[in-house]
Amino acid sequence: MSKTYFTSDHEWIRLEGDVAVVGITDYAQEQLGDLVFVELPETGRQVTKGDAVVVVESVKAASDVYSPVDGEITEVNTALSSDPALVNSAPMGDGWLFKMKLSNPAQLDELMDEDAYKATL
């Protein structure tokens, strides 16, 4: 079973083999409200932990989504271009934002598990 990690900025990251899938948590999408636009990163982009990678825009506000770890963007969820509400309906499923190849898998150990994340809410 793949383990999901969480950041204090309400991103989640799940390792699937040697690829990590990243999105925002259910809590984050609730705070944002209905998403109307998602600006996805370029594939091949090298990112550092904490870099703003995605912009999500809702009827209320625009927010940055940060990279939880260092790595390279390998894929983006193109379905969000036509249906940004997928992030609202399935934030930890079909509403994922991007996939990345990790540069430093040990950084995952610095993130929270689900119980620790829920305790911060």
**1 band by pLDDT with thresholds 50, 70 and 90:** low
Task: Tell me the per-residue pLDDT of 47-96, one tens digit each, with 9 for 90 and over.
Answer: 999 999 999 999 988 999 999 999 999 999 999 999 999 999 999 999 99
User: Is the pLDDT assigned to residue 2 strictly greater than 80?
Assistant: no
> What percent of the chain is modeled with pLDDT above 90?
94
> Does the pTM exceed 0.85?
yes
- The DSSP bridge pattern shows strands 98-102 and 71-76 to be antiparallel
From residue 115, alpha-carbon distances to 5, 10, 109, 112 in Å are: 10, 13, 14, 8
Per CATH, the number for 4-104 is: 2.40.50.100
